[in-house]
Structure 1
Amino acid sequence: MEKIVSLAKRRGFVYPGSEIYGGLSGTYSYGPLGVELKNNIKQLWWKKFVSTRPDVVGVDGPILLHPKLWEASGHTEGFGDAMVDCKECKKRFRADHLVEDATGKDLEGKNEEMTKVIQDEKIKCPNCKKSNWTEVKDFNMMFKTQMNGIEGDIYLRPETAGAIFVEFKNIVDSTRIKIPFGIAQIGKAFRNEIVAGNFIFRLREFEQMEIEYLIHPEADWGILFDDWIVKQEEFAMELGAKKEDLRRLEHPKEKLSHYSKKTVDIEYKFPFGFKELYGLAHRGDFDLTKHSEFSNEKLEYFDQDKNERFTPHILEPTFGVERSLLLALVAAYEEEKIGEDDERVVLRFPKKIAPVKVAVLPLSKKEELSKPTLELFGKLNEHFVSQYDDTQSIGKRYRRQDEIGTPYCVTFDFDSLEDKAVTVRDRDTMQQERINIDNLVDYLKEKLN
């Protein structure tokens, strides 16, 4: 994991947030390559789950929502985790993770039991190695702020779903879409996590890609549920995950939210173990019923064909952008031996999400090569995200492009001046092929699919 974190910073994927001021825990910036990779992941998701499906529409709701919305959803009173503080070093930890890491026991939601176990087992602080703890208590993870003209607290949304539910009526009225259908959104969410960590896996500011899929209360939801799980796993594999590195974890009944009929996590084998990647939940009619109750607006669906009015039930597939990006980095990273004395680091991104598709390299900095190479770069950049590089030897430039996952390198050499052809190098095989410049765009389009 350390090698991936180092490469991510060195090559411009992910930087620690506010680093010149000493950093800010749990925050990161996405560099030139990171933002391209993020956008490619989001575009792939939108194409797969929204723009190519007749039964899903999109929405982009606000981060600041009416505070009553969070009362209706239960976030104001109950959105939090159990925390415990070390009295010696003043570090704060999520209590259920502390207990599970030390004993293997899953006691989430059982604060008194966790306090007893921490004291009886004399669990040591991971930071100072002493055992002097406060009692376990709940901590609300919503960020508060103020708004002119509004009394009381306003919250940064802790999830994107609320912005979808409040627009249910508008979407039904303006689109005339028929049940079953989904409403999709990509957007920021904010959670004041007790402990952020594992690089970009757990953050306080993050992006969600979420769908609320509305179905008839009597629909055979099991088939739809299974179909969504398969599609979520397919998406993970499109980002580079191997099937054997994915697994499903169904929440036991005692762990389910009171409104949920079924919840399944899709976990991925990260370097720090199997952890939740995506989630899928059957939320029943809880959300629309609660928002209807608190807003005094009827949030129902009327089926004109059947002359039937009802409150839809909801299946909710949820995807994290940053966890998807982390998956892509982990799955792509490889250290490959070349012969007996050489080694390279390569990111084998699937071509459709690679941040740079083509690198354009003059064999020499001499103007007789650099000028036509720059002209070729301008031509290719109209079709593909490309990068021009003329620094150091051609071998070192190939290695740099391998490290950022560029599928193809195009080299313009002295022979190119005569034969009007270039050398195209494949990232994965390192094989090289001579291609006529007039045919280059079509050749790369075919290769990049």
Structure 2
Amino acid sequence: MYRKSGDPNSFIKDRQIERQLIRLSRRGNFMAKKRIIEIDDEQLKSYEEIYSLLNSKTLIDQYHGTQALRRASEKEVENGFLSEEFLMAGLLSQPIMKLNKLPGLIQNELLITMINISSLQNGAEYLIANGCLESLVKCSKSQSESRNKALWCLTNLLCHKKLSYNEQGRKTVNQMIQTTIKLPEINELVLWTLKCCGLYYQRLEGGDELFQISINEIRNKLEKTFDYAIMNNDSIICEVLSLYELCPNFLTEITLQNILRSFELKDICIKENVLHIVEIMSLYTNGMVFVLYEQIIQNWLCTKISMNENQTITLSMILLIYKSIDIHESLFNQINKTFLNVCTSMLFCSFIPVENQNDVGLFLIMCCKYHNLFQIVFSSNNFLSLIERMASLSQTLLDKVIELVFWIHHQPNICKSISSLFIDQIIDVSKKYILTEHTKQQLYFLQRIR
């Protein structure tokens, strides 16, 4: 549940939920229902029996209690939410408070349970209401085997937006970052946790820069990990790319070349992540990221587009260029015949949404303003069909098409290629739109000279 900064109604509602959960948990086994849960093929235990075991004075009973609780939590997760019975049983109130004083085996079982519970929305709320943060943060900073499990649980809570966007929340996230970057190797847990921390920071003013500064010390380590992952087609490639999306200032020419190299892999997820990074880079108007985009990305984008690539990915690449052309006008110098042919084919693909075809059409019209690109488009065998198709997509495109045809009629070398029948077809298409006065005048002129 995300609480917007400065929204008192949201804050009050969150506090009411937390108080309700606390009340439910404190009622403990007084209100626990006689619900019997099946724990594999082992002895059946009710939530009351589990509660008794957890609060026993003997360690062996506590251990059996945490085992039963773990299996019970697994059953709850299968349902997708914590049941009313579980919430009212008060099973975790005391164990959470003693988390860092428990023996290793019991602590380990309890943390697995908390990971299961924290994966659910109301489970995350339940843990927060039981005051788990302090215990988990302390456990994550320890050198015990439980450290990673505590970090995993904290990351689940962060994913569910259970850490406030205030000084205390930021302090907790900073502690998570410091713990994570000190781990001996960069694995999936490290990458996932840092990504979630980065997404948290994005909601803070100036958070993008602060996050990149806070993990700067693993920059070189991250680059080596990524290089190794590509060489071995490792499963963490997507996770590394997701982190680079949040850290564009980490990009160097070598790193960028590795990122583009990963695009050659068949995994669609990897290709999409690479394009997300390219899109972020396209937004920069200065600095090293801007330079890398101009020197490397532009040429890569325009030459990479082909009929052989996945069509959804190809469409994404074309639209990415279209959206960034205002900042990177030099992209027009990289566009070639193959690229334009692929764009043209997109307008006749039935699976592509009309709004996307409209954007591709507008982009082609923009290309036609450049003499060398217009010659390529105009010389294609289906130029007139293309123009007619674009005119039928939207009024905006119709206006642009009429303007283009009007311009062609003033070019003595090519005006003969536009037949009267073609102009009649454009006129028929225009009847379904409300035309601007400017478009009406151009259309009227074309009618007179056809």
TM-score (norm 2): 0.22
Ranked by relative contact order (alpha carbons within 8 Å, sequence separation 6 or more), the top structure is 1
Higher fraction of strand: 1
Higher fraction of helix: 2
